[in-house]
Amino acid sequence: MTFEFLSESQLATIYIGLLGLSVLLYAILDGYDLGVGVLLPSDNQEQRDRMIASIGPYWDANETWLVLAIGLLLIAFPTAHSLVLQALYIPATIMLAGLILRGVSFDFRAKVKQGQKAIWDKCFKAGSLITTLAQGYMLGLYVTGLETSIWAHGFAVLSALGVTAAYAFIGACWLILKTEHDLQLRAYAWAKTLIWVLGAGIIAVSLANLSLHDFVRDLWLSTPSGLFLGAIPLICFSLLVLCGVVLRRLPNSQTDNEPAQGEWLPFLIAILVFLLSFMALAMSYFPYAVPGQLTIYQSLSSADSLRFLLVGVVFVVPCILAYTFLVYRIFSGKAEQLRYY
Residues that bind other proteins (CB under 8 A): 56-58, 60-61, 63-64, 66-68, 70-76, 78-79, 81-82, 85-86, 89-90, 92-94, 96-97, 99-101, 103-104, 106-108, 110-113, 301-302, 304-306, 308-309, 312-313, 316-317, 320, 323-324, 327, 330-331, 336, 339-341
Distance in angstroms (rounded) separating the CA atoms of residues 314 and 73? 18
Residue 230 Cβ vs other proteins, minimum distance, rounded to whole Å: 36
Nearest-10 Cα torsion for 267, 97, 197, 252? 40
Residue 341 Cβ vs other proteins, minimum distance, rounded to whole Å: 5
Does residue 53 contact residue 336 with C-beta atoms inside 8 Å?
yes
Contacts of 149 (CB under 8 A, 6+ apart): none
Closer of 33 and 263 to other proteins (Cβ): 33
Does residue 220 contact residue 284 with C-beta atoms inside 8 Å?
yes
Does residue 158 contact residue 197 with C-beta atoms inside 8 Å?
no
> Which stretches of 96-177 are assigned E, i.e. beta strand?
none
Residue 119 Cβ vs other proteins, minimum distance, rounded to whole Å: 11
Closer of 103 and 292 to other proteins (Cβ): 103
Closer of 74 and 239 to other proteins (Cβ): 74
Closer of 295 and 324 to other proteins (Cβ): 324
Residue 253 Cβ vs other proteins, minimum distance, rounded to whole Å: 28
Closer of 5 and 341 to other proteins (Cβ): 341
Residue 182 Cβ vs other proteins, minimum distance, rounded to whole Å: 23
The CA-atom distances, in angstroms, between 12 and each of 87, 207, 289, 318 are: 23, 30, 10, 20
What does the DSSP assignment read for 131-142? HHHHHHHHHHHH
